Amino acid sequence: MTRAGRFILVVIVSLLVAAVVLYPKHDEHAAMLAGEGRHAEAIALVQGRLAAAPHDPDLLAALGRSYAALGQIPQAVDAFDAYLAARPDDFAAREREAELLLQSGRLDRYLDALARATAAAPSPERITRLVERYRLHGRVEDEIGALQTYAGKGLLDAAQLERLGALLAYRGDSTAARRWLELADREAKPDSSAGRFLLVEVMILNNAVEQIEDRARGWMVGWRSPFLAAKLISRIARSGHAGVASRLALAYVDAAPNAALQIVGAIAAAGRPDLARRMLVRWAASTNGATGDDLHVFVQESALLGSVDVALEKFLRQARSGGDAATMGRLAEDLVNSFGNPALVAIRPLLSTEALLSRPLFAAELSLWDGDRDLASRRLTRIDPKRLPPEERTVWRALAQCMDMDPDAFGRLLTAWGGEHPPAEWAGQCRR
């Protein structure tokens, strides 16, 4: 054979070998067909292969994918069933089968498949999806079972633990509910409240409110919400645990004195004026360096409860501690406006000239009330009414009109009012 003939022979043999090596195998050929969208041809090819190897997992998976692509859901599910019998740990395939079951409307099998997939590889996202599907389809007992299973493994977040506690409490199992709600409390953020209020209800049912007293103190600090603190204290008070409610209320005054003033009215409105009064007494005794705004709210709350004695005791305490003149002047005016002559009689000897000068309109009013019209007139003329807010401008006009009254008529006016002198009514009386 010539050299050229040998070369041609070698080339032919090489091409034949390459054709054999490079020709796609049946499973590769099926994948190529599926990749091109030729699923019917791929199914026919795979079924032919399965005749010789009916349990080949790769062929079964390819068959399931092609059936699913054609929308032949029952056949796809059957193929994935067979595949998962051979490879039960393939989580992705379990999820895919679950999706197909949902599409086919086979709800029971879908939920079972989803549960199996979650159990095979639990994660926060998969657990959440499972319990949400149970909730969506009204499978309460299945939801409780799943939540208990994964709670026992430490895989639930605070919200899921609260949900479990709520379901168990609704079922009437307060002991189990308490267990999970206490765990949720430890896991929850400081400002979380819903689960904690549910825990309070469970503890009330178990007659064990005293056991969460320390927790409740921490809750009120973490919430930074007077509304939630008032709700908690009022609920515990209504449950009959007056001692716990009282200790929590006083602890809140100590921890957040300014916020505590905001809930006194709410506690009183909830039917516990005695507890509200104790809060005011505690605030008055323990708060030093209160601002004029704080004291204004304090006097208003004292008036709401009719506790003139508490308000006057705070004034005396402020006076003894040497409170600044402006604060004392405003506090005195608030007391007189809220409680009238009884308060004025009590505080008048303790009012310094500096305190009165810090409230010139109030000082003029007191001078007039004392019968010293000359001093009242001098104090009133030092005030520019244009610089006063509208409500004080009304008082200024009323006092100015009283300056022009006949002295005898003015004396009768003082006697007629008997120590009660709402400023807005002075003007009409002075004109008579």
Digit-by-digit pLDDT tens for the chain (432 residues) are 566 555 555 445 444 433 333 334 445 555 555 555 555 666 666 565 655 666 677 766 666 666 666 666 676 666 666 666 667 766 677 777 677 766 766 778 878 888 888 898 899 999 998 999 899 889 999 999 999 999 999 999 999 999 999 999 999 999 999 999 999 999 999 999 999 999 999 999 999 999 989 999 999 999 999 999 999 999 999 999 999 999 999 999 999 998 999 899 899 988 899 999 999 999 999 888 788 899 999 999 999 999 999 999 999 888 888 778 889 999 988 998 898 878 888 888 888 888 888 888 888 888 877 778 788 788 878 888 788 888 888 887 777 777 665 555 555 545 554 544 444 444 444 433
Taking the C-alpha atoms of residue 277 and residue 334, their distance in angstroms, rounded to an integer, is 19
Taking the C-alpha atoms of residue 16 and residue 283, their distance in angstroms, rounded to an integer, is 100
- Say how many C-beta atoms besides its own lie within 10 A of residue 37's C-beta: 10
DSSP E strands: which ranges in 62-187?
none
> Position 82: which residue type?
A
Q: Which residues contact 285 (CB under 8 A, 6 or more apart)?
A: 317
317-to-210, 303, 313 alpha-carbon distances in Å = 35, 18, 6
Taking the C-alpha atoms of residue 390 and residue 388, their distance in angstroms, rounded to an integer, is 6
What's the pLDDT at 112? 83
Assign a CATH topology to domain 22-121: 1.25.40
Taking the C-alpha atoms of residue 97 and residue 113, their distance in angstroms, rounded to an integer, is 7
Domain boundaries, the chain: 22-121, 136-207, 359-432
User: By the 8 A CB rule, do 220 and 248 touch?
Assistant: yes
> What token pair was written down for 201?
């209800």
Taking the C-alpha atoms of residue 384 and residue 380, their distance in angstroms, rounded to an integer, is 9
Three-state DSSP at 68 gives: helix
Taking the C-alpha atoms of residue 306 and residue 61, their distance in angstroms, rounded to an integer, is 81
Please give the full DSSP string across 336-369, using - where no structure is assigned: HHHH-HHHHHHHGGG--HHHHHTSHHHHHHHHHH
Taking the C-alpha atoms of residue 344 and residue 348, their distance in angstroms, rounded to an integer, is 6
**DSSP secondary structure letter of residue 288:** -
> What token pair was written down for 4?
């050229």
> Residue length, the chain?
432
What's the pLDDT at 221? 92
The half-sphere exposure of 227 on its side-chain side, counting CA atoms within 13 A, is 2
User: By the 8 A CB rule, do 251 and 214 touch?
Assistant: no
> What token pair was written down for 379?
């104090």
Taking the C-alpha atoms of residue 289 and residue 327, their distance in angstroms, rounded to an integer, is 10
What's the pLDDT at 352? 86
Q: Which residues contact 50 (CB under 8 A, 6 or more apart)?
A: 56, 59, 60, 63
pTM, to two decimals: 0.70
Smallest CA-to-CA distance from 259 within 222, 303, 226 is with 226
